[in-house]
Structures are given as C-alpha cells and as structure tokens.
Structure 1
Amino acid sequence: MSFPWAKTYKPSHPLMQWLDEKLPLPRFVYNAVGAGYPVPRNLNYWWNFGVLAGVCLMLQIVTGVVLAMHYAANAGVAFDSVEHIMRDVNWGWMLRYAHANGASAFFVVVYIHIFRGFYFSSYKAPREMIWLLGVTIFLLMMATAFMGYVLPWGQMSFWGAKVITGLFSAIPFVGEPLQHWLLGGYAPDNASLNRFFSLHFLLPFVILGVVILHIWALHIPGSSNPTGVEVKTESDTVPFHPYYTAKDGFGLGVFAILYCAMLFFMPNALGHPDNYIQANPLSTPAHIVPEWYFWPFYAILRAFTADFLFIPAKLMGVLAMFSAILVWFFLPWLDTSPVRSGRYRPLFRPFFYLLVIDVLVLGYCGGSPAETKYVLISQIAATYYFLHFLVILPIVASVEKPLPLPFSITQAVLGEDDQTAPASAPAPGA
C-alpha cells in the first residue's frame, strides 16, 4: 500500500547504508512491517489472528523439521519411532505435543481469521486476490493436516487414511486408479507412509510461499478495517510499528498462555485414544473419525445417504464436501452489497450468526457416531450451509438497506464530523 504520506527508509548507520544499497532487506522490512507501512487506525483484536496464523505456521515448520529427524516412514517401525520420540529423544515428548497441538491451534486461529473475513467482507474489491490466496492456503492446510494425521500409524491414522482415500473411488472412471496412485497400492502401507511423509514435509513450505504472496497482495490495497471505509487521509492511518506490533505482541502473549496451558496440562484432549494403539488392518475401530478440524466437512460428507437418479450418494457426498470450501472462492461475486462491514448491515448480521451456529452444529455431528439423529441434523445443517452462500447472501445483498457509513475512519474513531459516506456505492478505491 503506497500513500503520499508513507515514510521512506533512510538508514543512518554506515553499515546499514551499505547493506541497504547492496541488498535492500532493511528497507523491505521497514516498508512491510515497520513505521513505513501505514495501517488503518481502527483495527481491533480480530485483526490479530493473521499474525497469529503466521506464528503457528512457523511453529509447525520448526517442530516438524526436528521431528522428521527422528521419525521413520516405514509401516513396520513408524509407530515405534513415534514412541521413541516420546520416550527417548530429549524433549521429544514436548516437540511431539507442540506439533500436534500446534496443528489444532493453527486451525482455531485460521477459522477465526476466515469468519472475521466473512463478517467484515474482507473478500470484496479491491481485495479479491488476498481472499483467493487465503482460501488456497486453507486447502493446502487441510491436505497437510490429513497426511500428518496418518504418520503416527495408530488405529485412527490407518483407518482414517483408508476411509478418506477411499472417497476418491467414488469419482467415475478415474476414481479407483487415483486412489491406488495416492496410496501406492490397494491399502495404506509402506508406500502410503512414504508418500504422505514426503508431502507432509514439503507442503508447509508451499504454504509459506503462498503466505508470502498473500501478504504481498495485502500490501497493494492495504488492510481492510471494521468500518469497511477506505483510507482517505493520513489521519486515518498509524504506522504499523509501534502501534500494531505492540497490539499483536499482546495478542501473541495471550495466545502463548492458552497454547502452553494446552501443551503442558491437557496435550491429548483433542486427540483420539485409539491412535495410541498400533495400526491393525484386521481390527476396525468402532467409530472412525478424522481430527476435529475436519468435522464440519465430514458431517457434510455423511449427510448424503441415498442415491439421486444415476448419481451415487458417496459421489454426492464427496462433491458436497469439496464444494463446501470451493464456494468460498466465489464469495467476492456472490455478495454484491456495496457495504463491507457487517456492523452496518442489519439484515446480514443475524444470518452470519446463524452460519456460525450452523458450522458448530456440523462440527458436533461430524465428531458424533453415524447414527440416524446425527445424520438427519447434518442434512439440515448442510442444506442451510449451502443456502447461506448460494441463495441467502445474494438476496440479502440486493434487498438490504444498510446503515449510514461514517465519512472516514477518523470520524468513526473520534467522531470529528457529522458527514456520512454513501452506502449505495463502494468506498473510494474499491
């Protein structure tokens, strides 16, 4: 984001001058996250979760690289190598728990980050590319997390891999060959572990690359803000440092306390006890479930129980599960309201809260046994989920009468004047 009042970096120390001339890294950092990057002055703590997501990613990469030094991707010894890490490697138990709970923390932070984007319409022009890259990151996270769940080679790892890869067999013609190619055979085994371990190690660095693109795209139009009104004057902004580095630092401190409480006092609370039993292809667990962060999409998958015409229920479930995320790519064009922030959209707000409740219900059903009552609730919740994005959101955008917008960010914060921005057209720069 470039503004005429944005400061430029001018190093004073001779060493920094030389480095900035040969490799402008100090200038890049200053302009990207320093005092040279102006940010809307009204960002609240919901905007902390982008930075927290980056911290979680780096935590996963660092702990994952160290764990990879001690893990053996072989079906005969994979389970024992994890136990070796837990019992024999110095601080191995902490690294393993930090990595496992770090994945859960990563998804908690990203889910909050996404739903903040839903509420404040962070996907609208001119920030469509930021949103599209963010959804791509989420899909890569899902793939990485699934393959990481297989690596401990416990009962839930094995059967989770068998069930999830079995979904590809529902695709006509190419489904079964694709499933066999993914597994390296007809069932999860050595070839599967090697493939999943390689991809699980590689994909976080791919995610890091897309995150860099995500941040780069963010710096072109600049950050959105709770009012949805674009920056107009210098008084609408403050330098990222020290104002938001301090605010993000406080958020990081709160996150660290909660994360460490989970890590040291209940590290297995979000795991499944069956995964401490070595994988046995001859013993099927009574209730096969993926990790908790997959539960809403797993519930949508299980909501389809009957064939429709010539389309098998399994195929419809697979298509619906993937469509539940792919529909997010089209949000910039489905939501045509000229107002971004949910604060000024009285009709939009109750439907947003219903969506949050709906996703929580889907998550509960996805983690529950495949019994009739949970399947029925999943069907109702899945129906509303797609109606929200494909029907309700476009209709609300066309019939809603938004509240008057503040004329500027400064006016919203300080109340300096009584002017309002028109709600019938996007703010300048949109």
Structure 2
Amino acid sequence: MSFPWAKHYEPKSGFTKWIDERLPLPRLVYGAVGAGYPVPRNLNYFWNFGVLAGAALAIQIVTGIVLAMHYAANGGVAFDSVEHIMRDVNGGWFLRYAHANGASMFFVVVYIHIFRGLFYGSYKAPREMIWLLGVTIFLLMMATAFMGYVLPWGQMSFWGAQVITGFFSAIPVVGDTIRIWLLGGYAPDDAALNRFFSLHYLLPFVIAGVIILHIWALHIPGSNNPTGVDVKGEQDTVPFHPYYTAKDGFGLGVFLLIFASLLFFAPNSLGHPDNYIPANALQTPAHIVPEWYFWPFYAILRSFTADFLFIPAKLLGVLAMFGSILLLFFLPWLDSSPVRSSNYRPLYRIFFWVLVLDVLVLGWVGGSEISPFKVALGQITAAYYFAHFLIILPIVSRAERPRPLPNSITEAVLAKKGGTSPAHTALSGSPVPAE
C-alpha cells in the first residue's frame, strides 16, 4: 500500500546527500522505521511484540557467537566445556544463562505475537504473505531451539535427541535412513553434536533473513490494527517515529526488566535439573521431556496410543505433531470471514479464548508425566485443536453475524475516547458526540 502523505527522506547535509546517492541506507531506515512510515494511530501494546522478538533474536545471536568461542562439539568434552564456560570464562555464567533464558523469552514473545495475529485477524488478505513468513520463522525457531537443547550434552539433551530423532524412524521406508542421516550414525554422538552445533549456529542468521522478508512484506499493505479497518487517509495514521519508537522503547524496557529478573533471580527455573547430569547412554531418565515451549506439540505427539488400520500409532503422532504446525499455513483460507478483528466477531472471540485454554492445557499435559487421565485429557485437547481450525473456524466464519464496523480508524478512536465522530460531523454539519 502506498501512502501519498508519507514524508520523504531529505538529506540535511552534503555528507548525507553523498551517502544517500551512493548507498541509500539512511533513506531505507527512514522509510522502514522512521517518520517516512505511517502506521495506524490506534495500535495497542500487543503491537510491541514484533520489535521485542527482534530484540530477543539479537540477544541470542550476540550471546551465541561468544559462547561458540568456548564450546567444544565433542561428546567427550561437550558437557565439560559448558561447565568451563560457567566457571572459568569471565562472565561466562551470564552469557550462558542469558542465552538459555533468552530462548524462553523469545518463544514467550513469539507465542503472544502469534495469538495477537489470531485475535486481530492479521493473517487475512492482503497480509497472507506476512503470516506465512511468520509461521516459517516459527518453524526455524523450533528447529534451532531443539538443536541448541542438545548441545549441553546433559542427560535430557542426550535422551531428548534420542527420542525426538527416533520419531523419524516411524516414517515408512525412508524413516530409518532419515534418522541416521540426521544423527550421522545410529545414536546421538560426536557426529550428531557437530551437525547440531553447525546448524544451531547457522539458523539464527537464516531467521534474521526471513525476518527482513517478513518486515518487507509488512510494509507493502501496512500494519493491521485493532479494528481491522483499512487506513482511509492521513487522519488514520501517525509517523512510526517518534510515536511508536517511543512506545516500543517503553515495551522493550519492560521486556528487559522481566528478562533481567529471570536471568539474575531464577536462571534455572525453566530448565530441567537432569541436564546438569552428564549424558549417559546406559541410564534412561525417569521422565524425558523437551523444553517447555515444545510441550503442546509433545502432548499432541503422545496422544496417539493405538494403531489405526495399517498406520502405527507412532507415525500418527509424528504426522499430527507436524500437522499441528503446518496447519497454520492454511489459516488465511480456512477463515473466510470478511471481518478481521475479533473485537467485532463475538462468536469467534469465544472460540479464540477456548483455543488459548486448550493450548495451555496441552502444554501442561506435555510437560507432565504420563498417566491414564493425562493421556485422555491430551487426546481430547489435541482433537479440539484440530477441530478448531478445520471444523469450527470455517463454520463460524460463515455463520456468525459480526458487529458493525466503524467507518474509519479515526472514528473508532474518537468513539472510544468519547470525542467527535467525523462521520457524524459530516452528516450533521456540527460536532456530535460519537456513539
């Protein structure tokens, strides 16, 4: 979307003009995150989480590069090299804890970012490509996090790699070959560590590249907003800088305070104590569990306990786990409602909160030890997860009656603030309080 009222970059000095003519980087920044990028005037704090995700990625890349200087991807010394970082490297404990807890904070921010998109319909036309690139980033994050979880080479690292890669063997014909190819052998060892370390180092830069595409795609139609109404004119927007740079700065400050509190006062609260035990291929942990941000998908994986026809339960679980993520790619076409924001979709809003509760229950089940009750609860919640996207959402998008939309973003803002509605002013010729 082009904004005719957007301010254009004008160099202020001879030097900036010289730079602009040869490398228009200042112009690019000005148009991407400066006063040259108009955004809807009614964005709330849920729109901070894109910037927070970028900050979390930057933390991961910087700390990861320094940690890589001291880490040894060898089964015999990997665990000891992590302990060396913690005990002997100057500031090593800080870097290691910042990297480990930074991954958790990254996923917290991204999960909120995803559910914000679901609530406000940010996946709908013309923003489908933004959503598809976002889901791609999420998949890359999951792959990066899994490989990073293996690197400390503790008990949970080793057995997590053993169990998760073992699920690939459920794929008919080629499954065992894929698993051997992933591990570089028949069990997690030096080859697996080297492969996972290389990919764990590389993928954050791939994620950064996809984020650039994500932002580029965002700047074509412009940002969505809480009303879901398209921008009608200059009165509906404000420049990104200084209005939203200030708002993002405040959000970043809150994020860093929470991150610092976790880092300094509870650095091991989100980890597993078994990972402080060196990997032992002859001693299986009592309860093998991935990191917390994988728990909902792990619960879906474990929900299949019986074969169906000729399909083994193990294969069904693997297909369901990957399918639960790949399903998000089709969301723009599963929800056919012309209204974006659930602020104006009362029936959809109810099912949205049911989905949030369902995912939280899946997470609790995935992180808990197996019992008959939890298996049954996981099966019910996993079934609902798929039913929400494949059955409930298409029906609701056709059957519900949305509330009337405001004529413009400005009208919605003034109505919320108890001001004057431009629509009423135009009709009556005099200011009338908005309804």
Aligned partner letter, 2:85: I
How far residue 172 of structure 1 moved from its aligned partner, in angstroms, is: 0.2
> 1:90-117 CA distances to partner (integer Å, 9 max, x unpaired)?
0000000000000000000000000000
> Which stretch has the larger CA shift, 407-416 or 345-354?
407-416
Residue 238 in 1 paired to residue 242 in 2? no
> Which stretch has the larger CA shift, 409-418 or 14-23?
409-418
How far residue 419 of structure 1 moved from its aligned partner, in angstroms, is: 4.9
- 2:324 is matched with 324
Q: Distance in 1 between matches of 2:271 and 2:3?
A: 48
Q: Distance in 2 between matches of 1:56 and 1:351?
A: 30
Shift of the 381–419 alpha-carbon distance from structure 1 to 2, 3 Å rule, reads farther
> 1:261-286 CA distances to partner (integer Å, 9 max, x unpaired)?
00000000000000000000000000
Aligned partner letter, 1:257: L
- 2:273 is matched with 273
How far residue 2 of structure 1 moved from its aligned partner, in angstroms, is: 2.2
> 1:341-365 CA distances to partner (integer Å, 9 max, x unpaired)?
0000011011000000000000000
* 8 Å Cα contact 1:39/1:239 also seen in 2: yes
- 1:108 is matched with 108
Aligned partner letter, 2:15: L
- 2:391 is matched with 391
> 1:169-203 CA distances to partner (integer Å, 9 max, x unpaired)?
00000000100010000000000000000000000
- 1:425 is matched with none
- 2:300 is matched with 300
- 1:196 is matched with 196
Q: Distance in 1 between matches of 2:240 and 2:211?
A: 19
How far residue 417 of structure 1 moved from its aligned partner, in angstroms, is: 2.7
- 2:421 is matched with 417
How far residue 373 of structure 1 moved from its aligned partner, in angstroms, is: 1.1
Residue 34 in 1 paired to residue 34 in 2? yes
- 1:423 is matched with none
Q: Distance in 2 between matches of 1:84 and 1:181?
A: 31
> 1:315-350 CA distances to partner (integer Å, 9 max, x unpaired)?
000000001010000010000000000000011011
- 1:130 is matched with 130
Q: Distance in 2 between matches of 1:41 and 1:317?
A: 45
Residue aligned with 1:243, SS? helix
- 1:225 is matched with 225
Q: Distance in 1 between matches of 2:315 and 2:162?
A: 16
Aligned partner letter, 1:232: K
Residue aligned with 2:256, SS? helix
- 1:287 is matched with 287
What does 1:23-422 align with in structure 2 at a 5 Å threshold?
23-415=23-415, 416-417=420-421, 419=423
How far residue 15 of structure 1 moved from its aligned partner, in angstroms, is: 1.0
- 2:432 is matched with none
TM-score normalised per structure 1 = 0.97
Q: Distance in 2 between matches of 1:140 and 1:371?
A: 32
Residue aligned with 1:212, SS? helix
How far residue 372 of structure 1 moved from its aligned partner, in angstroms, is: 1.1
Residue aligned with 1:325, SS? helix
- Count of residues in Structure 1 that have an aligned counterpart in Structure 2: 420
* 8 Å Cα contact 1:49/1:109 also seen in 2: yes
- 1:424 is matched with none
Aligned partner letter, 2:401: K
> Which stretch has the larger CA shift, 10-19 or 127-136?
10-19
Residue aligned with 2:54, SS? helix
How far residue 55 of structure 1 moved from its aligned partner, in angstroms, is: 0.4
4+ residue segments displaced more than 2 Å? 415-420
Q: Distance in 1 between matches of 2:373 and 2:59?
A: 39
TM-score normalised per structure 2 = 0.96
Residue aligned with 2:143, SS? helix
Aligned partner letter, 1:417: S
How far residue 414 of structure 1 moved from its aligned partner, in angstroms, is: 1.2
Aligned partner letter, 2:343: R
Q: Distance in 2 between matches of 1:256 and 1:190?
A: 36
Q: Distance in 1 between matches of 2:52 and 2:337?
A: 30
Aligned partner letter, 2:327: V
How far residue 393 of structure 1 moved from its aligned partner, in angstroms, is: 0.3
Q: Distance in 1 between matches of 2:198 and 2:242?
A: 40
Aligned partner letter, 2:331: L
Q: Distance in 2 between matches of 1:136 and 1:401?
A: 33
* 8 Å Cα contact 1:406/1:419 also seen in 2: no
Aligned partner letter, 1:9: Y
Residue aligned with 1:405, SS? coil
- 1:6 is matched with 6
Residue aligned with 1:406, SS? coil
Q: Distance in 1 between matches of 2:239 and 2:275?
A: 48
Q: % of aligned pairs identical?
A: 77
How far residue 221 of structure 1 moved from its aligned partner, in angstroms, is: 0.2
Is there any run of 5+ residues in structure 1 with no aligned partner, and where? 421-430
How far residue 227 of structure 1 moved from its aligned partner, in angstroms, is: 0.1
> 1:267-310 CA distances to partner (integer Å, 9 max, x unpaired)?
00000000000000000000000000000000000000000000
Q: Distance in 1 between matches of 2:120 and 2:266?
A: 34
Aligned partner letter, 2:177: P
Q: Distance in 2 between matches of 1:187 and 1:220?
A: 47
Q: Distance in 2 between matches of 1:383 and 1:60?
A: 35
How far residue 418 of structure 1 moved from its aligned partner, in angstroms, is: 7.2
Q: Distance in 1 between matches of 2:144 and 2:12?
A: 44
Is there any run of 5+ residues in structure 2 with no aligned partner, and where? 425-435
Residue aligned with 2:61, SS? helix
Q: Distance in 1 between matches of 2:62 and 2:167?
A: 32
